[in-house]
Amino acid sequence: MVRIREFEDRAQQIYREGKLNGHLQTCQGQEAVAVGAIRAISKKDIVFSNHRGHGHYLARGTPAKKIMAEFYGKVTGTNCGKSGGMYLVDVKRGMMVASGIVGGNICLAVGSALASQIRKDGVVTLSFFGDGATNIGLFHEGLNMAALWNLPVVFICENNQYAEATKREEHQKIKKISDRAISYGMPGVTIDGTDVIKVYKTVKEAVERARRYEGPTLIECVVYRLAGHSAGDLGAYRPKGEEEKWRETYDPVRIFQTQLLSKGVLSQIEVERIIKEAREEVEEAVQFAEESEEPSVEMAYQYVYQEKN
């Protein structure tokens, strides 16, 4: 989680310095969901991420330097500099695609789960999306089909309290997003998304259920977006003191650090070492990205279609 936090903080800083183009949506405050959920699956399982998914990729093992190079639009990036931060792909690690379309990965994940069911290969698919995506038609269509056919997919809603600049209470009447699972006939649960152990155990149970072909699960992870919707968003729409309150009480990195220190799992020296190593890794990623080559004009025509071997 420390690696993700340091990476996102640095990426946000670089963006505001004018070194990156396009959009950059970071996930500070949501690190426990990425780490807990990814830890709960096996290497053969598949993940569909979203526009705020850098943490999912880092947790899965995608090198920080390749993600950073992608931000810079360099050929050494995960997608040869063509995707930016919203459309990352790392097929080698089962990270199929991050979609910049709100709710855009849900039905793709359902298709992946259908393929797994047909092959009977025991592969489970995770789909990550935000609270705003649960108002999209694809959410209804995808969950309905997944439940109807008992597909091996786990839907993870990262409820970070805002759909861009709209507070959740202003775009949904329901108290718990997980209650929507009832209408599809699937289990739904709401958990503290800042508790990495709780996230791990909940997702692990849902994944094991899906692997037995007992159907999908909707998991709502309640978190708080500690950054703006994008790196250029300063959050002027938030009530005064709201972010500070959440940061003080529900910062997942600080919470887990405190737990590990209190139980004697880590010492303060070890905590400082972890932070130092994470920062060094991120700085190496920045240096790698800045020193990498720009894509050639000819590369614009590459990877448009499937190429023959």
Question: Which pLDDT belongs to residue 17?
Answer: 94
Domains of the chain: 2-289 (3.40.50.970)
- In angstroms, the Cα distances linking 168 to 131, 134, 218, 222, 255 are 7, 11, 18, 11, 24
Question: Which pLDDT belongs to residue 258?
Answer: 96
**CA dihedral over 16, 53, 238, 279, signed as positive or negative:** negative
Q: What is the H or E stretch that residue 287 is in?
A: helix 268-291
Report the percentage of the chain scoring pLDDT > 90: 83
DSSP state of 20: -
Q: What is the pLDDT of residues 70-110, one digit of tens each?
A: 999 999 999 999 988 889 999 999 999 898 899 999 999 99
- Cβ-contact 46, 123 below 8 angstroms: yes
Which residues make Cβ contacts (< 8 Å) with residue 17, sequence separation at least 6? none
Q: What is the pLDDT of residues 30-50, one digit of tens each?
A: 999 999 999 999 999 999 999
- pLDDT category at 309 given cuts 50, 70, 90 is low
Report the percentage of the chain scoring pLDDT > 70: 100
Question: Which pLDDT belongs to residue 275?
Answer: 97
- Burial label for 189, CB within 10 Å (0-12, 13-18, 19+), is middle
Mean pLDDT over 233-261 rounds to 91
HSE value, Cβ hemisphere, 13 Å, CA-based, for 222: 11
